[in-house]
Structure 1
């Protein structure tokens, strides 16, 4: 943290009661206030409290609140925030606004923020902070502890320390604070570090891969290095958790058949709500028109055997449900790295018997229902009711099998062409299976009922 804010400085003269207490409560309170009241409350906070507030990722409208402050206060606030969080807030603003806010800053913090803003969104570089503890690999425990005491207030974390080669400045080892304090004052820190290469990532590494690395190695922080081994920054576990939450929110929205929304539901404007939802709905609606085309193609068969129309909703929903199940499983497996792009054929070999078995189960239930209704006199399916039941049963097997295969392969296809697998939304899969399901259903009906009802 760049300590440009004096400890007793304040944005206003009459601090609000929320100026003390848990920061999480203050964040929640400000998030619930209208824009004007939130800005007014922010102006009453002491400088250190305002920095603490903006350092919280849970604060909504951070960019707008920053712009509501006078220019000197906004600049001082940016200087006092942790570098990675300040960069996150600046990303919410336009480039011209970013330049205006960065211009008054001193060269060191301004340069650090510009470097962080230059990395692609959702990369390790965009998540990292430049505020970490690095030491020459030749220092002793006493020297390392003295350095930590001197810089502790300006570092995001001191629990992971990075030992650099004195000549090349390349990363040599990583050591935890716990392991450091176990040594004697005169011990060399390098001798206490575990004798293995440190776990690192490049600045271009996707945030999903960074999260997997944290889970695999139980890390609190991971250094981001360049091609020469120089430490550019570190990604801490709290930033990874925030990134996972954001990614999960985006995937949930996409899987529900809409564009991702980065605002709380009640703060999404009417126009933005329409933009986020109307596009996907129109695409799905146009796709569903193919269903009408399929039914028109089998119009003659429908006229001869009206009884077949009774089971169209059953057939379509079963295929869509099986496809959505498979898609959900595979999107999750791809996200966690449980399957790779090259495993598509193994997934297909698993889904083939699974789809057949699931289809058979539903087919037996469907045939049993028709038989039961016929025998109990609840509904008369006609003299060829056995063939109608067979048509429904075989149709369900084919449709559920197709739904399982299509739902499991679509995420692989999207990933292969460079799209997010989460774009294989449940409504999209259901629409695809609906159209194909009708074709399968009526094709089975033509084969089974030819010469009787058809």
Structure 2
């Protein structure tokens, strides 16, 4: 486990203070902050009898004895061996005979997020931590990783919801602090949504000529925002699980081009059919109902496609810029697509209805 910070009134042993200062010297979100220097190391030329004697002598102070680490005389990590492999062989067996060179190690400067993915992919209870010269510095255990993964997951969910990450449980945080965590994003999103009024004002003349177009504004912008939010959530989750990286942007774009187009065509057809059915019972859309239907249909195709592309590419772009992809939250994507969706909608309306 990472070394906890001691209360100021507690006088820690000199070796504990030294350990804490060393760990605090690493970047806040690095593997170095997670590791513990309490582990068991053995030499390659030892036999099982020597190893078991060593474990009995020093194992009590080790974070775990499930895994034993093989090092050379300079402290360079050579391999790791599970304890069961030592217990099930002849006592005269040399450690060199058990080494399989299938070593998986973390670098002390690796981000904690990367360590979470490595643990997830390799089913390990502990992983060694080395420096750039492969010197063994410590280990990270799965319980530490689970704790960090839970914190990362909670933080990402809160950011995706359009709020700053809470530092305390929801019911424990003060009301004023809770408001402060939420108000910033709400102001940004509100100012962004104000651009929709600007966009509608730009097409005021066209709306005046075909007032019926205004009836479909909520439908149009919500469909684009929903598709963008879907894509953004899927990509952020895939990135968190290590399924998608920035290098996969072209593959993601191709998939979203096809899926966004199919989704847009589906909604566009439903929109057109809805207008057609309503004309059988009402003349609310007037004699140009077909032009209105085609406008809504084609606009939905374009806006849903654009929403899917924007929602999928924005998290990857933020990651490429070194920012947190979770900040490309569903509300943020929805606001972006709302504004641009209106421009797409009225541009198509001008082209089809000649207004």
- When normalised by structure 1's length, the TM-score is 0.75
Which of these residues, 201, 206, 220, is aligned with residue 315 of structure 1? 220
Residue in 1 aligned with 2:138? Answer: 233
| Higher mean displacement: 331-340 or 386-395 | 331-340
Deviation string, structure 1 residues 179-234 (Cα, Å, up to 9, x no partner): 010122222223223x2152111111111211222222221111001123221110
How many angstroms apart in 1 are the aligned matches of 2:32 and 2:326? 23
How many angstroms apart in 1 are the aligned matches of 2:87 and 2:60? 19
How many angstroms apart in 1 are the aligned matches of 2:132 and 2:321? 28
Which of these residues, 386, 404, 408, is aligned with residue 312 of structure 2? 408
How many angstroms apart in 2 are the aligned matches of 1:394 and 1:227? 56
SS of the residue aligned with 1:150? helix
SS of the residue aligned with 1:267? coil
Check conservation: 2:129, 2:139, Cα contact below 8 A: yes
Residue in 2 aligned with 1:176? Answer: 82
- For the aligned residues, what is the CA RMSD? 1.7
Which of these residues, 115, 130, 141, is aligned with residue 48 of structure 2? 141
Q: Whose RCO is larger (CA < 8 A, sep 6+)?
A: 2
Residue in 2 aligned with 1:162? Answer: 69
Residue in 1 aligned with 2:22? Answer: 115
How many angstroms apart in 2 are the aligned matches of 1:337 and 1:237? 18
- Shift of the alpha carbon at 1:101? 5.5
Check conservation: 1:163, 1:174, Cα contact below 8 A: yes
Check conservation: 2:43, 2:95, Cα contact below 8 A: no
Deviation string, structure 1 residues 342-390 (Cα, Å, up to 9, x no partner): 222222222112211111100100111111112133x621111111111
Which of these residues, 418, 421, 433, is aligned with residue 322 of structure 2? 418
Which of these residues, 83, 91, 107, is aligned with residue 202 of structure 1? 107
- Residue 346 of structure 2 is aligned to residue 439 of structure 1: no
SS of the residue aligned with 2:280? helix
List runs of 5+ in structure 1 lacking aligned partners.
Answer: 1-81, 91-97
- Residue 274 of structure 2 is aligned to residue 369 of structure 1: yes
Check conservation: 1:395, 1:440, Cα contact below 8 A: yes
- Residue 304 of structure 2 is aligned to residue 397 of structure 1: no
| Higher mean displacement: 364-373 or 145-154 | 145-154
- Shift of the alpha carbon at 1:399? 0.5
Which of these residues, 344, 352, 355, is aligned with residue 448 of structure 1? 352
List runs of 5+ in structure 2 lacking aligned partners.
Answer: none
Which of these residues, 264, 277, 280, is aligned with residue 182 of structure 2? 277
How many angstroms apart in 2 are the aligned matches of 1:357 and 1:170? 55
- When normalised by structure 2's length, the TM-score is 0.95
Superposed structure 1 runs of 4+ greater than 4 Å apart:
none
- Residue 67 of structure 2 is aligned to residue 186 of structure 1: no
